[in-house]
Every structure is written in C-alpha cells, then in structure tokens.
Amino acid sequence: MTVLAYGTPAADAPLSQMEITRRAPGPHDVQIDILFCGICHSDLHQARSEWAGTLYPCVPGHEIVGRVAAVGVHVGSHKVGDLVGVGCMVDSCQHCADCDEGLENYCDGMVGTYNGPTQDAPGHTLGGYSQQVVVHERYVLKVSHPEEQLAAVAPLLCAGITTYSPLRHWQAGPGKKVGVVGIGGLGHMGLKLAHAMGAHVVAFTTSESKRADALALGADEVVVSRNPEEMAAHAKSFDFILNTVAAPHDLDPFLGLLKRDGTMTLVGAPASPHPSPNVFGFITKRRSLAGSMIGGIPETQEMLDFCAEHGITSDIEMIRAEQIETAYERMLKGDVKYRFVMDIATMGQ
Ligand code: NAP
Ligand code: ZN
C-alpha cells in the first residue's frame, strides 16, 4: 500500500513529503494508522547522516502512536481499534540470549524502526513520519493512557524508555541521589521518571532559562552546569548520573560529582566523541562510566504502564508535518519544551 511520509533523499536536503509503500500485513503483523510521532534528536542525527551510514531515502520517526487498522491471522496480542505504540525497533533475531531475556534492544540482529535491514522496499526500514506502519506484533506496545493524552504519550516510546531503563538498572529510588544532565526530550523525561521512582533528583542544564521548568518537571534541585561554584556544591555526592547531552563535552566535571562507586551512564549519542575523561576521576573513587540504549520490549511495556499509573506524559509542542525542518533547527538550539510531536493528520492537507 502507498502512503504519505516525510523524509529526505540526501543528507543535505530538507525533509519533504514523499510517497512510500508498506507491506500487506503478514500472519504476525499489525498494521497501524499512525496518529502522532515524536521528534527525537536521533531523527536529526540520522536524517543528516551525522552518525554516517544513513540509507536514503530516509524517513525518520521512532516515537509512534496510533490505532490498529488490521492484524494478521496469528496475531493474538492486539486487535483492530486498539491504541498502540512502536518505539525504536521493529524486529530482532528472536532467538538469541538477549531476545530470550526480553533485551531485544541489545540483539545483534535488532532492526531499527528506520535505517534497518528489511525485505520491504526500498531495502531499509522507514520510520514514523508517515501515515501508516506495519510491524511484527512482538514489537507493538499497548497504550493504556486516556486517548486525549495520546500525542503526549508518543515521546515515551523513545525518550521515556531510554531514561526509564537505566534509572531502573542503576536502581534509582528512595535514598538515592540522581542527576540528569541535559534537559531536552530525554532529560525532561528523566526528571519525571526519577522523581516518580522516589529518588532525590538534581537537574543539570546549560540553560539558565530552564531552571524553573526543571523544578516543575520533578527536580529537587537545579544546577547550571556552566557555573563552577554550583557544581562544586555537589562534589562526590551522587549515586547515579544520567547524561543525555547530544553534543561532545567535558565529562570530568560530572564524574567528580559521583560518590565512591557511583556511575555516570551516557545515553546521549553525539556525532563526534567526548574528550577522553581523566583516569584519576575513576580510580580515586572506584567510579564507573557506562552506556545504555533504549530498553527491551517487556521493559518498554512496563514503562508505559508505570507512566499511565503515575499520570506521566511528555511535555510537548505539536507541529504540522511541514514544520519539521524548523523543529530540527529549534531542537539544535535547545529551544523545545520539551518534545516536538508531529500531528500525522496534517500530512497531505
Ligand atoms: P534534545 O531534546 O536536543 O536534548 C539534548 C539536551 O542536551 C539539550 O536540550 C541541552 O539541554 C543539552 N545540550 C545540547 N547541546 C549541548 C552542549 N553543546 N553542551 C551541553 N549541553 C547541551 O535531544 P534528545 O532527543 O533528548 O536526545 C539527546 C541525545 O540522546 C541525542 O544525541 C540522541 O541521539 C540520543 N539518544 C540516545 C538514545 C539511546 O538509546 N541511548 C535514545 C534516544 C536518543 P540543556 O539546555 O538543559 O543544557
Ligand atoms: Zn529516539
């Protein structure tokens, strides 16, 4: 079936409307009419080939929510009319140790929602800036938030799970002091989730203007990271720091804020490397630097259910499809509060 999408034919070309084809649903497939798609900084990195290896045409978008339009004959978990979500992956090998543990995100055969290998035309996956998507049922999540919150649920499918998973893995909760660095799409979800988990939460921002917002989003304290005195007041005090920054920066000032055995986990994926951290920042306090990538399917469902139970959604600004380039430029300036979401109904209007 042919549907409308927003994508780009080249790294230096703006996104524009195009037609793409979606496969007819197979026995295990769910066909979804997409209603909203969040705009992740990864979409911009991919569309502009900042990570190299982008296949064109590129249709980004991996924060998808919509309604089930059809299901294959063997689909048992979803039915026509259900509200569902699709995040950053649409397939994996389904038989390795990672898949068996529900950690499909770490499977070597994981297929991204865009730019992943597929039999479907044009030979790589095309993402959620489109009217419809067809996905194997295993990678389709159930949405139980009220329908009127659907647009604000979309960003949970990437920004939500990418912050929820490391917060859980490194046991954010009561009695723990947790930092969140970079208050953008991921970071603002990190504040909400760490707060809901019961941790003492400190927001680190380069933007003085986000100070009040960060408190409202769930931070107990806010530090403007460009201010050395504010940073020094938190020396050697954190159990865990989640770093979401989308650009290379000096990690040493943040490592110095970890207490003995503390960990800083990087989820931001800048186009070029951070300057190498100083070894003494690690050995003097047995500190760790780690990384984390999205989350597995069972944990993504757990996160969605946790958010529905706690009334958590993303703070969003809705855009029409043709405003995508302006949204990217604003995202690069840190000028988004706190996630753009594309209203797919505006496509083709
Ligand atoms: P975003 O909305 O643009 O937020 C990034 C934030 O980082 C900005 O709002 C800004 O916050 C801070 N920042 C940006 N440039 C900075 C600089 N030069 N120095 C210091 N701080 C800076 O991006 P996002 O969608 O949250 O994504 C963040 C990163 O995570 C991207 O690289 C994305 O590709 C990556 N990502 C990774 C995963 C994963 O699985 N690991 C999943 C999704 C996204 P302040 O204004 O508060 O300083
Ligand atoms: Zn993302």
- pLDDT value of position 219: 98
What is the CATH classification number for the domain harbouring 202? 3.40.50.720
Mean of the pLDDT values across residues 47-68?
97
Q: Which ligand is nearest to the CA of 88?
A: 2
Rounded Cα distance between 149 and 146, Å, is: 6
Would you state the pLDDT for residue 208?
93
Residues 26 and 119 placed together within one structural domain of the fold: yes
Residues 165 and 286 in one domain: yes
**What is this structure's pTM?**
0.98
The proportion of the chain whose per-residue pLDDT surpasses 90, expressed as a percent, equals 99
Farthest-apart Cα atoms in the chain, separation:
62
Q: Based on the structure, what is the number of domains in the chain?
A: 2
**How large a percentage of the chain has pLDDT more than 70?**
100
pLDDT at residue 323 in the model: 98
Read off the CATH number of the domain in which 11 is found. 3.90.180.10
Range 234-238 contact pairs with CB under 8 angstroms and sequence separation of 24 or more: 234/179, 234/202, 236/260, 236/285, 237/177, 238/177, 238/178, 238/179, 238/202, 238/262
**Substitution site in 37, 39, 42, 189 for ligand 1 pocket (most atoms within 8 Å of beta carbon):** 42
Does the Cβ of 271 fall within 6 Å of ligand 1? no
- For residue 236, report the distance from its CA to the centre of ligand 2, in Å: 31
What residues form DSSP beta bridges with 83?
67
106 and 50 both lie in a single domain: yes
Residue at token pair 């757990």: 302
* Nearest ligand by distance to the CA of 204: 1
62 lines ligand 1 (CB under 6 A): no
Name the residue range of residue 231's domain: 160-291
Would the CB of 11 count as within 6 Å of ligand 1? no
Is ligand 1 within 6 A of the CB of residue 188?
no
Let me know whether 116 and 180 are in one domain: no
The arithmetic mean of pLDDT across residues 317-327, rounded, is 98
What confidence score (pLDDT) does residue 349 get?
Answer: 86
331 lines ligand 1 (CB under 6 A): yes
For the chain, the average pLDDT equals: 97
| C-beta neighbour count of 281 within 10 angstroms | 18
Determine if ligand 1 sits within 6 Å of the CB of residue 334: yes
pLDDT-derived band of residue 60, with 50, 70 and 90 as boundaries? Answer: very high
Give the Cβ contact number of residue 80 at 10 Å.
12
Say which amino acid occupies 102: G
Whether the pLDDT of residue 135 is over 90: the answer is: yes
Q: Say yes or no: 237 and 280 in one domain.
A: yes
